Structure 1
Amino acid sequence: MSHAEIVTIRCRTDNYAYLLRAHDRTALFDAPEAAPILEALAERGWELDQILLTHHHNDHIAGVAELVAKTGAKVTGAKADAHRLPPLDISVSPGDICEAAGLDAEVIDVSGHTVGHIAFHVAQAEAAFTGDSLMALGCGRLFEGDPAMMWDSLMRLNELPGNTLICSGHDYCAGNGAFALSVDDRNDALRQRIEATASAERPCAPATLDEERATNPFLRAAALAASLGADTPADAFAKLRSMKDHF
């Protein structure tokens, strides 16, 4: 592992943005609003070099213009989504390797929440920046894609090493945890995670992929299929996503 530091920044009411620091360079993943990000940079005496965007929703890009104006940071985003992202300096596609704070970042297609949504896996930092695809104890609502698309995206992320830190875009932990318990109430690891979050021992995001595998019902679709009356893990996922939408 390269020496890298990740800083989680709470923005708006429930968004997360992330700073990645390595090689005396600083990259930002998503920009919900500028003020708390500029404050975090100033506290550390860091200059912002890059902004990497996961998808086009306003609560992930609203701070880009101000940050670019104040820092000169270069913006990276999905080529397929360029028409609805802020102006891009670097356009990337799934399978590409781009740069983030001097480290290699693999671009992964995680369409589902939106079509064209990407994640960035920075192996040297043992982290993946997943936006609103795989989230703490959950996954993003399907605004543009369908369940099969999101299931494929989650399975791509599930291939990453178990110690990968999943840096997702929101703190929906209370609602996601309540839903998870409603479908997986015998899961001791899930109960322990929810209790730790509720007692403020630590936030529930980011968490390792192994922890998500053990507690996130959407990654546990295969284990939950029988209780849901589903024939396949993909069918179980589709049923879980529909149940969560109406929870």
Structure 2
Amino acid sequence: MSVMEYPATQHQHFAVFPIAAFNDNYIWCIQPESSDQVWVVDPGDAAPVIAALTQKKLRLAGILITHHHRDHTGGIDALLRHFGKQTPVYGPDNTAIHGISHPLTKQGDYRLTAGHTTLSLQLYAVPGHTLDHIAYLIDDALFCGDTLFCAGCGRLFEGSAEQLYQSLQKIAQLPQDTKIYPAHEYTLSNLKFAAMAEPDNQALASFTEQAKQLRQQQRPTLPSSVARELAINPFLHCDDARLAPILSQHWQTAADSAVTRLKLLRQWKDNC
């Protein structure tokens, strides 16, 4: 099985490259500098991971999971069979996820060691899309699963609009140069909806052209950044009352709070 290779994004102590899976998933690989080992985030499918690491002559150090959905967890068992049952799997403390060897129960700082690699990270609880959702901040790279997408956010499958609002605020308050690594290539669809919600957003229009060119070249639109999302993502603009008129017009109801605006935006996107 050959795997399309994408350019890696360089950080101070590691590089990050994606492995494409299913129709639009990215399994992010974190490769510490001077190491032939990688950590993978949300391996929904083992086959492309095994193929990519074999092709690159890399070994699997560990696995990070953000939430319980199968397109993020489905490859755990096969990866453990292939690379060894001793491979550590970190993720939410949720018995619905088979294979978690190191459940993470609290927000805060962690130092994860596997093989000859170590990851120092900050863990964030970001419920909304699911109740168990967590995100990993490693230096200036945030691996946020399905909580925040480029120009969008995850559906409210389990949590409330209030929970998702608070989770998005945690991300919005990170340094603006933080790179954002969501788990899906939903960017063009999200940009189309964002333009409906914010038709006068010039930053949004400009980035849309850039994103279209990237996809025409079969290149990822990711990673994004906190600065970009603050400029183009309507789901991070819910504190701005300028969203209220278009939401009120669409839904024929008042959009008089940030949480209400987020809820109405998400419902609108769900029905598009």
Do Structure 1 and Structure 2 share a fold, with TM-score over 0.5?
yes
Worse-superposed segment, 148-157 or 40-49? 40-49
Q: Does 1:235 align with 2:260?
A: yes
1: distance between equivalents of 2:131 and 2:173? Answer: 21
Worse-superposed segment, 216-225 or 64-73? 216-225
What is the identity, as a one-letter code, of the residue corresponding to 1:103?
Answer: L
Counterpart for residue 195 of structure 2: 181
For the 8 Å contact 1:193–1:204, the answer to whether it is kept is no
What do residues 208-242 of structure 1 show as CA deviations (whole Å, max 9, x unaligned)?
Answer: 11111111110122234343342222221111111
Q: Does 1:122 align with 2:150?
A: no
1: distance between equivalents of 2:133 and 2:63? Answer: 15
2: distance between equivalents of 1:127 and 1:151? Answer: 21
Q: Does 1:31 align with 2:27?
A: no
Counterpart for residue 18 of structure 2: 8
User: % of aligned pairs identical?
Assistant: 32
For the 8 Å contact 1:111–1:118, the answer to whether it is kept is yes
For the 8 Å contact 2:28–2:40, the answer to whether it is kept is yes
2: distance between equivalents of 1:205 and 1:2? Answer: 18
Q: Does 1:44 align with 2:56?
A: yes
2: distance between equivalents of 1:11 and 1:87? Answer: 20
2: distance between equivalents of 1:84 and 1:205? Answer: 29
For the 8 Å contact 1:112–1:146, the answer to whether it is kept is yes
* Post-superposition offset of 1:171: 1.1
Secondary structure, in 3 states, of the residue corresponding to 1:120?
Answer: strand
Which of residues 209, 222, 230 is equivalent to 1:205? 222
What is the identity, as a one-letter code, of the residue corresponding to 2:46?
Answer: A
What is the identity, as a one-letter code, of the residue corresponding to 1:50?
Answer: G
Counterpart for residue 108 of structure 1: 124
Q: 1:174 to 1:40 in 2, by over 3 A?
A: same
For the 8 Å contact 2:198–2:243, the answer to whether it is kept is no
* Post-superposition offset of 1:192: 1.4
For the 8 Å contact 2:149–2:187, the answer to whether it is kept is no
Q: CA RMSD in A?
A: 1.6
What is the identity, as a one-letter code, of the residue corresponding to 2:125?
Answer: D
TM-score by length of 1: 0.93
Secondary structure, in 3 states, of the residue corresponding to 1:84?
Answer: coil
TM-score by length of 2: 0.84
What is the identity, as a one-letter code, of the residue corresponding to 1:206?
Answer: P
Which of residues 61, 68, 81 is equivalent to 2:73? 61
Counterpart for residue 78 of structure 1: 92
Counterpart for residue 271 of structure 2: 246
What is the identity, as a one-letter code, of the residue corresponding to 1:205?
Answer: L
2: distance between equivalents of 1:94 and 1:178? Answer: 37
For the 8 Å contact 1:225–1:233, the answer to whether it is kept is no
1:98-177 correspondence to structure 2 within 5 Å:
98=110, 99=112, 101-123=117-139, 126-177=140-191
Secondary structure, in 3 states, of the residue corresponding to 2:192?
Answer: helix
Counterpart for residue 225 of structure 1: 243
In structure 1, the gaps of 5 or more residues are: none
In structure 2, the gaps of 5 or more residues are: 1-10, 249-254
Secondary structure, in 3 states, of the residue corresponding to 1:8?
Answer: strand
Would you say how many aligned residue pairs link Structure 1 and Structure 2? 243
2: distance between equivalents of 1:104 and 1:169? Answer: 21
